[in-house]
Amino acid sequence: MELGTALAVVAFADQCLKYGNKFVKRCQSYLHAEEEAVELLLAIESNWVKMEAQIVILRRIAGSLNKKLQDMQSQVLSQLEGKLKTASLIIEQMLSEKREYGKAKDDKRNHNDWDIATVMKGLGDMRASKKARYVFKKSALYQIVDEIEKWQARFDPTWILIMQMSVGDIDEGLHEQRQKVERQQIPIILAAKGIRDAARAAQDERVKDRGLIWIDGLDLKPSTIPHSSVQFSTLQDTNEMVVIDSMISNPAANAKQTLKEVRNLARILAEVDPSTFGLLKCRGVIKVVNSRESPLSGPSPLDFKFVFNIPLQLSNPQSLRNVLLSGTSYPLNERLNLAKRLANSILFVHTVQFVHKNIRPETIIVFQNEHSDIGAPFLVGFEQFRVEDGSTYRAGDDIWEHNLYRHPSRQGTHPEVDYQMQHDIYSLGVVLLEIGLWTSFVLYGEDEGTSSPVQNDILGSVDLARPRNPRGSASRNKLELEGLAIRELPSRLGKRYTDVVLLCLRCLDSGSGANHDGQDFDVGAADWMDEDGVTIGVSYIENVLEKIQGIIV
């Protein structure tokens, strides 16, 4: 059976379902064990319920996937199969040793009546060597569970990408999950269905807004977030915190088309699961009459304010720029997790066929939470977004701290090419470089409110002033950023992280590049070509997400 065929996907899915269910059943004996073991079992069961539902849907549609997606899913599922086999073996050994111990303790007792709880309570009676072996296997089980959770984090983005494809069986599978009682419903599947329905509604003019998108009457009292493109406010009537993301309409744009694209983006963002996608859930959009220009005839043009809910467990929003400027040190694993979450956010935006066009530390908000010192990052700043295949006006600006995050072909007031998804990936590469070095490329004086931004000396010969040859200078700056990554990143976040940054920075290069060791890798423009939004998504997962998610420090 060839890897990459629909049959291979089905076969691996069947094996995963077999070993996963076997593993969970073997763990049932933990239910009456000590508190630590109960928590472990709950984590095992919760993860498996989610994975099982996703794999069942994937198995059903395997024959409808293109070969590249089949190859990817075969590889991903084969990895899970190996982990589940190992987990099943460990729990079988634990059960076997428990039964042997029980038999030696009381030959009259029926073996099937024993459970791991009994053994755990009797650990004090074990010989030191036997106890050490048991503790070792228990630790190994925890490690397996941790690896399965990491596998899940790598699998979810691919699964979400597939769930947006035009395959009829997907609707049936998602609908079946939606019909389950609330306590059995799985958030990521509900989110996938909601996003799929919203994307479909965006293509169907007969679907009305039903009052869910356009809102008014909110008592907003906006407060600035330092070095951020968004604001936050506390709603007076409910005491809820929200983020306000303003979009100023392009005067050259078609007003009806802009209104439609704002509505469609809001519909999709209203369905996101913040913890999975790294995006805030949209509460609605406020229309604002544009008073800057008085039209000669017809209604005044509209600007828009996207209002986003802030999850209850999050607080103290600050921009990633502010975090970098603070100079606070954080553990490497926290910085790496920050980078991983941002990489996931980019994939989701592209999966639903939008381009962000404005990725930089000012459009990334970090909230304080109880799980990490840095906090949880969320991508905001949708003021320049558009549909991936929608109208483009090639409008830009000459702000150097914006150009720093733009590909050479997209700099200046009149960029030379239309915006495409790879331009977002390039911007992500610059941000990942900044996170890897953990320093802000843009600096401010002591009076940040009035001082002009200046570039960090770490950028070396990067020249962001207005040159006589803008494109030539921008291309040299790109090479300088690549050189900075090659020189500085390996000793700070490792070789694999360095390669991810270079892959992002070179995603629009026409030829093959070279990694930091001088070894060639063929990642050029041809490898990222779009095909109904799938090929570029798969390339991004293979070249960026898979590599960065696989880094462990």
104-137 tens-digit pLDDT: 555 544 544 444 445 444 444 445 555 455 555 6
- Do residues 174 and 57 lie in contact, with contact meaning Cβ atoms separated by under 8 Å? yes
pLDDT given at position 116: 42
Is pLDDT at 379 greater than 60 in this prediction? yes
Distance CA 264, CA 387 (A): 9
Is pLDDT at 328 greater than 70 in this prediction? yes
Which of the residue ranges 232-236, 474-478, 530-534 would you say has the lowest mean pLDDT? 530-534
pLDDT given at position 207: 58
Quote the longest CA-to-CA distance of the chain.
97
Q: Domain count for the chain, please give it.
A: 2
- Do residues 461 and 444 lie in contact, with contact meaning Cβ atoms separated by under 8 Å? no
- Do residues 550 and 497 lie in contact, with contact meaning Cβ atoms separated by under 8 Å? no
Together in a domain, 363 and 345: yes
Together in a domain, 330 and 396: yes
Is the Cα dihedral 403, 409, 410, 413 positive or negative? Answer: positive
Domain presence at residue 203: no
Together in a domain, 28 and 134: yes
Token pair, residue 367, equals 């909230």
pLDDT given at position 428: 96
Please give, one letter per residue, the 3-state secondary structure of 209-270.
Answer: CCCCCECCCCCCCCEECCCCCCEEEECCCCCCEEEEEEECCCCCCCHHHHHHHHHHHHHHHC
The tens digit of pLDDT for each residue in 271-308 reads: 888 888 889 999 999 998 876 555 555 566 788 999 99
- Domain-terminating residue out of 177, 198, 219: 198
For every residue of 360-410, DSSP letters joined together read SGGGEEEEE-SS-SS-EEEE--GGG-EETTS------B--HHHHTTS-GGG
The tens digit of pLDDT for each residue in 523-536 reads: 444 456 555 556 67
- Do residues 280 and 380 lie in contact, with contact meaning Cβ atoms separated by under 8 Å? yes
Angle at 255 between CA 251 and CA 256, to 5 degrees: 165
Which of the residue ranges 24-33, 84-93, 104-113, 227-236 would you say has the lowest mean pLDDT? 104-113
Angle at 325 between CA 319 and CA 327, to 5 degrees: 120
Residues 6+ apart with CB under 8 A from 32: 115, 117
Is the Cα dihedral 286, 248, 427, 202 positive or negative? Answer: positive
Residue matched to tokens 């042997």? 100
Domain presence at residue 159: yes
pLDDT given at position 292: 59
Together in a domain, 231 and 260: yes
- Name the percent of the chain lying above pLDDT 90: 24
The 8-class DSSP code of residue 541 comes to I
Which class for 39: exposed (0-12), middle (13-18), buried (19 or more C-beta within 10 A)?
exposed
Together in a domain, 82 and 221: no
- Domain-terminating residue out of 198, 223, 252: 198
Together in a domain, 136 and 238: no
CATH of the domain at 273: 1.10.510.10
Q: Which domain holds residue 73?
A: 6-198
pLDDT given at position 416: 62
Together in a domain, 142 and 228: no
Domain presence at residue 413: yes
Mean pLDDT of 455-465: 85
The tens digit of pLDDT for each residue in 67-79 reads: 778 888 888 888 8
> Containing H/E element for 354?
strand 354-355
pLDDT given at position 179: 73
Together in a domain, 395 and 512: yes
- Do residues 358 and 399 lie in contact, with contact meaning Cβ atoms separated by under 8 Å? no
Domain presence at residue 507: yes
Q: How confident is the model at residue 448 (pLDDT cuts 50, 70, 90)?
A: low
Together in a domain, 170 and 222: no
